[in-house]
Amino acid sequence: MIPSFYFIVPWHSATAFQRQLIEASIHAVLRLQYGQNSFLFTSDAEAKSEADMLKTKQPVKADVLKVGHHGSDTSTSPSFLKAVSPKYAIISAGKDNKYGHPNPSTMKKLQDSKIATYRTDLNGTVTVTCDGKTIKIATARK
């Protein structure tokens, strides 16, 4: 089985794209499909980038969502979360970080959507494995 992946980059024009990069409001997003399993890696994408991605009509639905911008309140908009509709969410954030990531509002959105959530600040290293049919998640700490 060969995995397929593509970058989702909200792209209006080269000039606008360059301007957005300078303003740091656009981030490359990678969607990986392996058999029946799908993953969406959103880097530091915030709500504006999420909205732009949805406008492209490219598939964003994924089993596993790497939550954008460390779970800040500027990412994981309700419309984006609904479109992705993940079973699992992973948040990469340092323990006791000075930014307060992940934000309680982001955690509430994930909890209200009944998404199993793993956090590096609490669970340590999060390892995801799949065989194209099933997904297994292991953490360094419970």
* Coil vs helix vs strand at 41: strand
Structural domain range at position 101: 4-139
Q: Which of 90, 94, 75, 99 is nearest to 27 (CA)?
A: 75
Tally the C-alpha atoms within 13 A of residue 109's C-alpha that lie toward its C-beta: 21
Tens of pLDDT along 40-74?
A: 999 888 888 888 889 888 899 999 999 988 999 98
User: Rounded to an integer, what distance in angstroms lies between the CA atom of residue 73 and that of residue 90?
Assistant: 15
Domain of 106, CATH number, reads 3.60.15.10
* Secondary-structure percent of the chain, ordered helix, strand, coil, rounded to 5: 30, 25, 45
Please give the tally of structural domains in the chain.
1
pTM (2 d.p.): 0.83
